[in-house]
Amino acid sequence: MNGGLDIAEDPARGSCPLAVEAQGLVKRFDGTLAVDGVDLAVPEGSIYGVLGPNGAGKTTTLRMLLGIIEPDAGTRRVLGHPHPHEIARQIGYLPEERGLYPAMKAYEAIAFMGSLRGLGLREGRRRGRELMERHGLGYAAERQIRQLSKGMAQTMQLLGTLVHEPKLVVLDEPFSGLDAINQGKLETLIRSLAANGATVLFSTHVIAHAERLCEQIAIIAGGKVPYAGSVDAARDRIPAQVRLETERQDGLWRAALPPDTRSEGNVWSFPLPEGGVEPLLRALIEGDAGIRSLSIERAGLHDAFVSIAGEAAARALEQENRP
């Protein structure tokens, strides 16, 4: 595939209709290669994350998918259409750069955003009030945007993205600037959108959001997508780790531990052997090692990201996530 894509999909994915598909997307700005052969396949009704550090090409990729900018090479189809701007009314898009008219009343701002996607203003106003009531913000419907907190204003823009009931919702760094409470509310909203049949595609530089919300992700670094597939498959690229604590530090049973075992006193850590832990357990019992505890810990998405994207991309993510 273009761009060195490593696809690790569910075998059944071939039978699942795609809301978004792209092959070999390329974009240059002033001679600089920003996106280099990106491939994506987003199943309908899924929550799909594009994960990578700032500057990796996430925003450029989303804008090409939506037809906001045209790729220099490659193809894309959105909801089955090769020209996304022709089906804009079926798409909700929340850009990374937020902006609302500060003098507008909150429910009017939601209605205005809906009107940009073909929703009548009268119906938009009705839905705007209804959405605000549903999300516990009905008391602020008549307030001007300038009178709202930053978090509430961001919520208004999100509701404006959804007011026309799109089939595809594209969110560019939607958690940016939100406190923990509002991040949790947004996660709940994203899950409810998918539960009601919408497809949600969002970009993020926060691994925890992708790990909690997504079944499938694309990891992007340096304008390339080295991995696209399920979160589980990404995590399974790294062997599960065994953590063993024994009563004794030495004995013949030590020979049964893998060569790459790490130790801290009586605690031993090593990758899960291909044959499982049963042979090791027998050696430990027969050697009277005294097993205090034994656990098998699956790798997290952070470890998978480091393995796939490299240490430099992982450090960039960590830097961005520092307070």
Q: Of 205, 235, 265, which marks where a domain is finished?
A: 235
Report d(CA 152, CA 150) in Å as an integer: 6
304 occurs within a structural domain: no
> Can you give the CATH number for the domain in which 252 is found?
3.30.70
136-139-145-149 Cα dihedral, nearest 10 degrees: -60
Q: Are residues 215 and 258 in the same domain?
A: no
305 occurs within a structural domain: no
Q: What is the pLDDT of residues 24-67, one digit of tens each?
A: 999 999 989 999 999 999 999 999 999 998 888 999 999 999 99
pLDDT band at 76 (very low <50, low <70, confident <90, very high): very high
Q: Strands (DSSP E) along 30-172, which ranges?
A: 32-43, 47-51, 73-78, 91-94, 168-172
Can you give the pLDDT at residue 108? 96
Counting the structural domains of the chain, the total is 2
Report the mean per-residue pLDDT for the chain. Answer: 89
Report d(CA 296, CA 299) in Å as an integer: 10
Threshold 0.95, pTM exceeds = no
> Pairing between strand 199-204 and 47-51?
parallel
Q: In 3D, which of 243, 244, 175 has the Cα closest to residue 210?
A: 175
Domain range for 108: 2-235
Q: Is the dihedral angle over the CA atoms 305, 309, 311, 313 positive or is it negative?
A: negative
306 occurs within a structural domain: no
Q: What is the pLDDT of residues 133-156, one digit of tens each?
A: 999 999 999 999 999 988 889 899
Q: What is the largest CA-CA distance in the chain?
A: 80
Q: What is the pLDDT of residues 167-204, one digit of tens each?
A: 999 999 999 888 888 889 899 999 999 999 999 999 99
Q: Of 215, 235, 255, which marks where a domain is finished?
A: 235
282 occurs within a structural domain: yes
Report d(CA 298, CA 7) in Å as an integer: 21
160 occurs within a structural domain: yes
311 occurs within a structural domain: no
Q: Strands (DSSP E) along the chain, which ranges?
A: 7-8, 18-29, 32-43, 47-51, 73-78, 91-94, 168-172, 199-204, 216-221, 224-230, 241-246, 262-264, 267-271, 291-297
pLDDT band at 121 (very low <50, low <70, confident <90, very high): very high
Report d(CA 3, CA 69) in Å as an integer: 20
Q: Are residues 116 and 245 in the same domain?
A: no
Q: Are residues 224 and 254 in the same domain?
A: no
310-313-315-318 Cα dihedral, nearest 10 degrees: -120
Q: Are residues 86 and 155 in the same domain?
A: yes
- What is the number of helices (H) and of strands (E) in the chain? 10, 14
Instruction: Say which DSSP state 164 is in.
Output: T
> Can you give the CATH number for the domain in which 130 is found?
3.40.50.300
80 occurs within a structural domain: yes
Q: What is the pLDDT of residues 20-35, one digit of tens each?
A: 999 999 999 998 999 9
Rg (CA), the chain: 24
Q: Strands (DSSP E) along 115-207, which ranges?
A: 168-172, 199-204
Three state DSSP letters for 188-215: HHHHHHHHCCCEEEEEECCHHHHHHHCC
**Considering the chain, what percentage of its residues have pLDDT values greater than 70?**
94
313 occurs within a structural domain: no
